Each structure stands twice: as C-alpha cells, then as structure tokens.
C-alpha cells in the first residue's frame, strides 16, 4: 500500500534559519547551550498551501520544484515571528511622552489617549495602524490591551483576523479610579465580555483575555466577576499588571488591606492560573514568585517601559530560579519601541545593572518559542517545525558599515547573534510572513 501524497509545498524562503529546540540555560553564552539552539545557515524553509511549515532543506543539496513561489533571502537571518506578550493598541500616540512615572503617566497621557477610542471609527483606524506597525517590527503574535470600549476589542479582533495574526485580547475592565468615559460597571463589563467571548474566542486565530487594567481600577466586585468568568471557561486568558511601580504597590496595599500582596489580590479573586499573563512583576517577593510558579502563570517583562518610566529592574534570574516563565514584551506606549530586538537589548541592560548577564539565547527564546509556550501556543507557533504556522520574519544581519564590521569580526555564533540583537532594529527587517503570507515587505524606494 502506498501512502497518500503530502500536501503540496507552494512557497519556499531561503535564508539563515535560527530557532530553539529547548530552553537555553541562564548565562550560558556558548554557541549551542545544551543543544537548545538550532542554526541552519543557507536553508530553504518550505511552506504548504495551508500556511504551515512542511520542511527545511539545505540549499546546497535541494532546489525547490518548478512552480513553487521562491523568496531568495540568502545571507539574511530568518527567525520565528516575535511574540509580544504585553502591548497597548491605543497607546502608540503617547509613546515617548515626557516627565512622569506610572500613575501620573496614566492620568496625563494614557487615559486621554484611550478616551478617544469610544468612537468606533477612531478605534478602527488606530487598530489598523497598530497591527500594521507590529508586522513592520517583526511581531506576528501579541497579547493586546485595547480600551474599556467594546468597539475597541471588536476592532482588534477584526483587524487581526483580516491579517491572519495570532492575537489575544479583550475589552479592558475598569470600573473605578478612571476618568469619565473610561469606566464601565460590573454588569456592563460582564455583558460585553460574554458577548465578545461568544463571538471571538477561538474564532480564527483570536483568543479572548479577561483584561483587568490593574487592581486599583477594578472594584472587588468586578474582580470577582472576572474570576467567575475565568472559572466558567478555563481556556480564557487573563491579563493584567502587577507590581510595576512602588507607589502603585503602596496604593494597592491601601485599597486591598486584607491581601497578603499585590499578586494575592488577583489570586484571591481566582485570576491566577496557567493562562494568566502578568506584566512587569518588578516588586514581587519570594512568596509571590513561588505562587506564580505553582499557578502556572507567568510574567511579561517590559524592559524599555521599566527603564523609561523609572519603574525598577525586573529580577529575571530570580524568576527563573523560582520556576515561573518570563516572556518579552514591548509595553508600548510606556515602552519606547514595538521592536522586540530593542526590548531584548534593554533587557540585557536591566540584568547588567543587577550584576547578571542575559544571553542572546535566553532573550530571543523569550521572544519566540518561550513566549509561545508561556501563552500555551507552542503547538502552533514559535519554532520552525513542520506542522506549525509559518509566522516568520526575515532580517538583515547588518544594514551599514558599522554593524557589518561588527559582524565581520564576531567570534562564534553567540557573539554574532548577540551583536545583531544589540545593534539591529526594525530597519533591519526585510519581510514578515503570517501563516505563510507575506504581510510586510520593506520598501526599496
């Protein structure tokens, strides 16, 4: 008996392929720590008609069949598309705003920007700009906060579906300590969330997240409502902020005096579980980290935001030792770039200020396979394995004489990749593919 033929391969991309087969050990800057790094220079990535990877072949011994659509990026670097685990779609207009820490930032910049998204047309236009910008920065998957307005979540999911992107999001829950036009009620939030869940959760590549802005802007009753929804549907995500800023931590302690810690506020409400994504996590203690590990929740590390707002230094090494995952995130607009390479370079600085050294492997793993696994998406994306979606980005190793010279003298693969990660930005991005479709190509004009 002969086996049925494989699905036809319809596209092929030629480049230097880099991905991960396992989690790299902390601090190991060898070229292939524990066999976790997979580097395949000058290979073809083969993509089927369904947008999934069908195989990888060495260009020296393989030639795509006639009729296959070829994209020759030889001499460039191909990675899985980046996974941004914490970003705000309405905050692009307030990036690089001057002079505040977190709580004043929200009042002076964030809340005024988000108020405008009550208008559905404005929300749609802003979302289109935001999603196209993600693709132009090499990001193909994101956990996104729109605004409290139901229309903003509608726009996010519709825009992502039109582009084939993997997006996690949900209308923001916020029923106190926010301006007029940005507050909901427990009943309204519940109605809107249930309707959005029924229409968007699991539709295409969209997943719904119960999106608690942060503990101060939700009453205990709203947190309890969100916890009940989470218990009713375990496949829902939960995303929020935790322990970002010292003044914020003190405020939470005043508002929730019965809670052991900021993290415990969410735990007590039933919001800490394997699909919980908690941004920042700077001012956590050992008990908090142990509880994160036990619950399966993880922290989205937002280095450019933490540095720009002066929030503090994330203890990635302590998190790793405690056993909970860390993904990488831009946190635009507090963050200063949607590009996760810029955030990876900033993450190195954050660790260096604490006497730790973040390798390129740990950083890039957190932005690809590690981020996918933390979001329970490792079966779908994050590596260059056959059967996974062809969400990939092609990058130049260098774009000018200075970084070209740095590449020329690099000794070994880690040094080469670390230099690229540190010096490159979105101008090095040549193309981004989502589910096998080219969704961004750098202009040649």
Per-residue pLDDT tens for 334-373?
Answer: 999 999 999 999 999 999 999 999 999 999 999 999 999 9
Cα–Cα distance for residue pair 413/267, rounded to 1 Å: 42
Residue 85: pLDDT above 60?
yes
Query: Is the residue at 370 inside a domain?
Result: no
Statement to judge: residues 167 and 257 lie in one domain:
yes
User: Is pLDDT at 5 greater than 60 in this prediction?
Assistant: no
Residues 69 and 192 in one domain: no
Q: Which two tokens stand for residue 91?
A: 């905050």
Percent of the chain with pLDDT over 70: 98
Structural domain containing residue 399: 9-81+388-441
Residue whose C-alpha is closest to residue 240's, from 276, 197, 265, 201: 276
Q: Are residues 75 and 104 in the same domain?
A: no
* Tokens describing residue 166: 């993997």
Structure tokens at 185: 């009620």
Do 31 and 169 lie in one domain? The reply is: no
Contact 238, 271 (CB under 8 A): yes
Q: Are 94 and 75 within one domain? A: no
Element (H, E) at 348: helix 340-352
Give the whole-number percent of the chain exceeding pLDDT 90: 93
Claim to verify: residue 399 and residue 292 sit in the same structural domain: no
With tokens 């229309």, the residue in question is: 151
CA dihedral for 374, 204, 163, 387, sign (positive or negative): positive
Tokens, residue 45: 């990535």
Cis omega (within 30 of 0) for bond into 324: no
pTM, two decimals, is 0.95
Cα–Cα distance measured from residue 187 to residue 267, given in angstroms and rounded to the nearest whole number: 22
234 lies in some domain? yes
Interatomic CA distance for residues 207 and 214, integer angstroms = 20
How many structural domains are present in the chain? 2
* 60 and 89 part of one domain: no
Radius of gyration in angstroms for the set of CA atoms belonging to the chain, rounded to a whole number = 21
Nearest alpha-carbon partner for 418 in 77, 102, 124: 77
Say whether both 95 and 43 belong to one domain.
no
Q: Contact at 8 Å (CB) between 26 and 360?
A: no
Query: Residue 6 pLDDT more than 50?
Result: no
347 within domain boundaries? no
Residue 345 in tokens:
């370079």
389 DSSP 8-state letter: B
The larger pLDDT score, comparing residue 340 to residue 9, is at 340
The number of helix segments (H) and strand segments (E) in the chain equals 16, 16
CB 213 within 8 A of CB 241: yes
Please report whether residue 26 resides in a domain. Answer: yes
Q: What is the CATH number of the domain that holds 128?
A: 3.20.20.140
């Amino acid at each position: 008996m002969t086996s049925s033929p494989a699905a036809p391969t319809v596209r092929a991309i030629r480049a230097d392929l880099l991905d991960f087969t396992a989690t790299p050990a902390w601090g190991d800057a060898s070229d292939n720590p524990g066999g976790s790094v997979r580097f395949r220079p000058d290979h073809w990535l083969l993509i089927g008609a369904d947008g999934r990877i069908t195989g990888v072949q060495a260009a020296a011994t393989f030639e795509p069949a006639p009729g296959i659509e070829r994209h020759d990026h030889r001499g460039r670097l191909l990675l899985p598309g980046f996974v941004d685990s914490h970003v705000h779609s309405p905050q692009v207009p307030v990036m690089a705003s001057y002079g505040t820490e977190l709580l004043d930032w929200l009042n002076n910049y964030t809340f005024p920007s988000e108020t405008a998204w009550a208008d559905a047309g404005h929300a749609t236009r802003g979302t289109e700009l935001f999603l196209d910008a993600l693709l132009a920065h090499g990001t193909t998957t994101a956990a996104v906060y729109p605004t409290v307005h139901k229309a903003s979540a509608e726009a996010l999911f519709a825009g992502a579906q039109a582009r084939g992107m993997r997006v996690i999001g949900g209308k923001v829950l916020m029923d106190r300590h926010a301006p007029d036009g940005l507050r909901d009620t427990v009943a309204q939030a519940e109605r809107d969330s249930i309707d959005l869940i029924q229409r968007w959760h699991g539709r295409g590549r969209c997943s719904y997240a119960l999106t608690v802005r942060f503990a101060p802007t939700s009453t205990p009753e709203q947190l309890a409502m969100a916890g009940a929804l989470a218990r009713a549907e375990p496949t829902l995500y939960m995303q929020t902020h935790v322990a970002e800023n010292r003044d914020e931590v003190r405020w939470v302690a005043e508002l929730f005096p019965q809670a052991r810690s900021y993290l415990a506020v969410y735990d007590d409400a039933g919001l800490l579980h394997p699909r919980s994504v908690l941004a920042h996590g700077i001012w956590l203690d050992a008990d908090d980290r142990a509880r994160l590990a036990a619950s399966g929740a993880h922290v989205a590390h937002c280095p450019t935001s933490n540095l720009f707002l002066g929030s503090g230094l994330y203890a990635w090494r302590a998190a790793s030792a405690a056993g909970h995952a860390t993904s990488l995130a831009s946190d635009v607009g507090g963050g200063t770039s949607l590009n996760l390479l810029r955030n990876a370079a900033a993450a190195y600085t954050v660790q260096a200020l604490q006497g730790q050294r973040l390798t390129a492997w740990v950083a890039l793993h957190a932005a690809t396979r590690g981020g996918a696994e933390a979001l329970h998406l490792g079966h779908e994306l994050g590596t260059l394995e056959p059967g996974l979606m062809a969400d990939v980005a092609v990058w130049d190793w260098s774009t000018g004489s200075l970084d070209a010279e740095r590449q020329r003298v690099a000794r070994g693969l880690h040094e080469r990749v670390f230099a690229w990660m540190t010096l490159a930005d979105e101008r090095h991005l040549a193309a981004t593919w989502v589910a096998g479709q080219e969704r961004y190509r750098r202009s040649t004009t």
